[in-house]
Structure 1
Amino acid sequence: MSRLNGPARTNRPAKLIDVARHAGVSTGTVSNVLNHPDKVKEGTSARVMRSIEHLGFVRDTNASSLANGGSHDIGLVVIDLANSIFLDAARGAQSTARAAGLNLLMAGSENDFGVQSSNVDSFIGARVAGLLLAPMQDSSAQIQRLTKRHVPVVLVNYDPGTDHACSVIVDNDAAGYIAARHLIDLGRRRIAFVSVDWDLQPVEQRRHGIRRAVAETDGAVTLEEIVADDLEVGSGNAIARQVAARDAAERPDAVVAVTDNLAVGFIEQAADLGIDVPGDIAVMGTDDNTSAARCRLTLTTVTMQGRQLGAVAMELLMDEIRHGRDEHRHQRVVLTPQLVVQQSTVR
């Protein structure tokens, strides 16, 4: 007999995503069971139906027409399509949107705040039912434009610091803390944090978490902060050359890079210069970027829960579209990152 996973019945009405988690399937599979049962294997369909019955799920017949003005389109604006956290968030959002009969339209902003602003305006002009916005810096002016035009918006992986909109974020402070704590627990005592000197919220929060972990050692561990030109592999190469030029006793014995691409660049160049990773220097990233350049070692990193980010954000957005700003209550949802230990820190 198959074992059903997930939460038991709660006081709030069960949602489609609850059924998916309970049955151990995707939201798309649940949608197919309800709308296209011929596409689903009999055993899977039966498992989903048992979950529906167990949770008391009632299908929302208004879900596919919940959009204001009849629009079935949802916009998603992300700052960087090269980072897999945003691609994963898009997949999670799309799966949830599709199950509700909605279309997800995505625009990348090429790490350019001006392009992001233009993308937001384009979606306003297209009269989307709502917008998911994944920036890396203060976007309050864009949020204000959306709310003035009665376009619901949810912030993804960015904490606006206000209650003017819903937000779903990963605890980036915890990500930095987890990374530094892992290296400290391995016995590393000279940690270098490789980052950029840019005003980016995730970067600043990870830096704070790393500093917090080091401060807990009461001076037993030192922290050096090295500024890279950007967040890409080439800058990781350059930092490795700087470190290799030092006397061995003055090099860090551990490196935390704010992105996986920086970490990969450091590892590849360090190996070519005769530095053993992780023997001489343990190296890790902090954003679990599956789109990062390939590395000769599997990379220790911190997972960012991308799919869950997108799915939860879409649920919040649909709730606001359905109930309107007067009845909808803005929420701030924080997801906990997880350490992924690989060869770059532990042989």
Structure 2
Amino acid sequence: MADVARHAGVAIGTVSNVLNNPGLVADDTRERVLRAIEELGFVRNNAARSLVTGRADTVGFVIVDLGNSFFVDLARGVEEELDEHDIRLLLANSDVDLAKQDSYISVFEEAKVAGILLAPLDAPLDSARAARRRGMPVVHVNWPGDEDACGVVVDEELGGYLAAKHLLDQGLRRLAFAGGPFSLSAVAQRHTGAQRAVAEVAGARLETIETHSITVRGGYALGVEISSRPTGERPEGLVSAADALAAGAIQTMQLAGMRVPDDIAVVGYDDNHFAQDSSIPITSVGQPGHEMGRVAARVLYEEISSAADHVHRTVTLKPTLFTRASSSPSEVRSV
């Protein structure tokens, strides 16, 4: 704060007021102090216990959606790995809100955590990049790294390939891929994988249905759209970009009299916990959330403990197909 005050030509108390009571400071003075803060890269330290080391024995993890069990699995994996290094985990849920995501990054910076794990929205990562420029280690989770940060991802294209191939291996040839919007990179990559699987089988074709979301509500609309078609124009197999989308579609298709999987076989994605417990258990491509969390925490710890020698990289893990009743008549008989 003394550096900021000197740079802006004001008293330390004025800097404190700008940070804590900005209404007490004249507009031009406040702008001068804020410019000094930006130019000096000043971040206030709210963690008195880290004054000696400059870093707390904590790591912050910003998660995009704690309502999705995949991200809960990620957090558990992170916590397990950090426990082995006596580092505590601070968890924040951005709730699919970019402003909340950015604010939590700032909160963790101010707390002087040792590093930040970020499972981000599919959006620009300006706040994360700014934090890295100020010296904060940041590792992306479920998002690729770049020249300034590591990342841990799952091969989404392979996941889409496995989902479509599973349906093709059962002799189904009229498939549909549903998900959206396609501006979401994971949805686009899963679609590419499904296209690749279909291209390998003579006579097979893939219809693309872009949905407004990959939620249960989006699935309701998808199910209505498919069930309203004449029987011969319906797909035999559906690759859904998310389990929630698949669950909604199955519900409305059943209400319309369609039988799953006899009339249409369905494969979801993410292997959410509810996928196993649905009225018709949903076949799903599972991402190794727990393993991803452990790997991400391990990579972050490597950067924290040996920053000078650390080389940024992206670690890619493989998905797994879990076959259940929604895509296999034999599984229905055994349920």
TM range (shorter): 0.7 to 0.9
Q: Which residue of 1 aligns with 2:137?
A: 152
State how far apart, in whole Å, the 2-side matches of 1:273 and 1:138 are.
Answer: 37
Q: How does 1:171-250 map to 2 (within 5 A)?
A: 171-218=155-202, 220-250=203-233
- 2:275–2:281 CA contact under 8 A, matched in 1: no
State how far apart, in whole Å, the 1-side matches of 2:128 and 2:280 are.
Answer: 41
* 1:109 has 2:94 as partner: yes
Q: Which residue of 2 aligns with 1:7?
A: none
Deviations 1:217-272 (A, max 9, x none): 24x11111112222211221111111111110000011111110111111111111
Secondary structure in 2 matching 1:286: strand
Q: Which residue of 2 aligns with 1:261?
A: 244
State how far apart, in whole Å, the 1-side matches of 2:90 and 2:82 are.
Answer: 10
* 1:343 has 2:293 as partner: no
State how far apart, in whole Å, the 1-side matches of 2:290 and 2:320 are.
Answer: 14
The residue type equivalent to 1:333 in the other structure is: V
State how far apart, in whole Å, the 2-side matches of 1:228 and 1:329 are.
Answer: 39
Q: CA deviation at 1:286?
A: 1.4
Q: CA deviation at 1:302?
A: 0.8
- 2:211–2:222 CA contact under 8 A, matched in 1: yes
Q: CA deviation at 1:83?
A: 1.4
Q: Which residue of 2 aligns with 1:333?
A: 315
- 1:83–1:291 CA contact under 8 A, matched in 2: no
Q: Which residue of 2 aligns with 1:40?
A: none
Secondary structure in 1 matching 2:273: coil
The residue type equivalent to 1:275 in the other structure is: M
State how far apart, in whole Å, the 2-side matches of 1:206 and 1:198 are.
Answer: 10
Deviations 1:78-128 (A, max 9, x none): 111111111101000001112211110111111122221222122112211
State how far apart, in whole Å, the 1-side matches of 2:165 and 2:275 are.
Answer: 23
- 1:89–1:309 CA contact under 8 A, matched in 2: yes
Deviations 1:19-76 (A, max 9, x none): xxxxxxxxxxxxxxxxxxxxxxxxxxxxxxxxxxxxxxxxxxxxxx9x9624111000
The residue type equivalent to 2:265 in the other structure is: A
Secondary structure in 2 matching 1:107: strand
Normalised to the residue count of structure 2, the TM-score between the two structures is 0.79
Q: Which residue of 1 aligns with 2:5?
A: none
Q: Which residue of 2 aligns with 1:316?
A: 299
Q: CA deviation at 1:198?
A: 4.5
Q: Which residue of 1 aligns with 2:149?
A: 165
The residue type equivalent to 1:281 in the other structure is: I
1:277–1:68 distance in 2 versus 1, CA, 3 Å: farther
State how far apart, in whole Å, the 1-side matches of 2:261 and 2:100 are.
Answer: 40
* 1:298 has 2:268 as partner: no
Structure 2 segments unaligned to the other structure (5+ residues): 1-49, 330-335
State how far apart, in whole Å, the 2-side matches of 1:264 and 1:251 are.
Answer: 18
State how far apart, in whole Å, the 2-side matches of 1:124 and 1:166 are.
Answer: 18
The residue type equivalent to 1:175 in the other structure is: G
Q: Which residue of 2 aligns with 1:43?
A: none
Q: Which residue of 1 aligns with 2:119?
A: 134
State how far apart, in whole Å, the 2-side matches of 1:340 and 1:257 are.
Answer: 14
RMSD: 1.8
Q: CA deviation at 1:291?
A: 4.8
State how far apart, in whole Å, the 2-side matches of 1:133 and 1:291 are.
Answer: 25
- 1:254–1:283 CA contact under 8 A, matched in 2: yes
Structure number with bigger Rg: 2
Q: Which residue of 2 aligns with 1:286?
A: 269
The residue type equivalent to 2:267 in the other structure is: M
Q: CA deviation at 1:139?
A: 3.9
Higher deviation after alignment, 308-317 or 95-104: 95-104
Selected match of 1:76 from 61, 66, 76: 61
- 2:275–2:283 CA contact under 8 A, matched in 1: no
- 1:277–1:345 CA contact under 8 A, matched in 2: yes
State how far apart, in whole Å, the 2-side matches of 1:74 and 1:320 are.
Answer: 12
- 2:74–2:289 CA contact under 8 A, matched in 1: yes
State how far apart, in whole Å, the 2-side matches of 1:73 and 1:283 are.
Answer: 42
Aligned length in residues? 279
- 1:191–1:255 CA contact under 8 A, matched in 2: yes
Secondary structure in 1 matching 2:176: strand
- 1:237–1:268 CA contact under 8 A, matched in 2: yes
The residue type equivalent to 1:91 in the other structure is: R
Deviations 1:175-224 (A, max 9, x none): 00110111111111111111112422211111111111112224x11111
